[in-house]
Amino acid sequence: MTEIARQKIFEKLQLLDEHFAYLEKLKTEIQDEEQFLSDFHIFASTERYLQLSYQAIIDILDLIIIEQGIEKPEDRKEIVSLLYNKGILSEDLAYRLDGSIGFRNILVHDYGKIDKKMVYKYLMEKTDDFQVFKREILSWLKKI
């Protein structure tokens, strides 16, 4: 892997850390689901930071595919299983991220149909995946 690609991955991981910190702060501001659903500031911030977090993950996975000379998948949803099959992501993380990439697509492309309860669920249940992803990518980088 080139040093430039490695540096870009580290920069994306740093962004992921920043977004994770913002999401964790948002969690502390939420009393319950009802408040989340009625507070458009918290909802909008959550939606945006989730989108940016998943985009950072996709960008990192794209960089790895390019640098490792792996044939690009036909669609984004295949990217996670492709890197699992190459031994870069664990089975557990690949399973957890698989649906999340689809969720990111909804946030970006179907913004008129976003289910606020789903955004709340992702905030409360899925943000730890970002830290697991970071650990697995850093571990993989040490091996190559």
What are the extents of the domains in the chain? 3-143
Angle at 99 between CA 85 and CA 74, to 5 degrees: 55
Q: Please report the pLDDT score of residue 119 as a whole number.
A: 97
> Is the pTM for the entire model greater than 0.75?
yes
Q: Please report the pLDDT score of residue 6 as a whole number.
A: 97
Point out the residues of the chain with pLDDT beneath 50.
none
- DSSP H or E run through 44: helix 40-68
Domain 3-143: CATH superfamily is: bsu32300-like (1.20.120.580)
Q: Please report the pLDDT score of residue 95 as a whole number.
A: 92
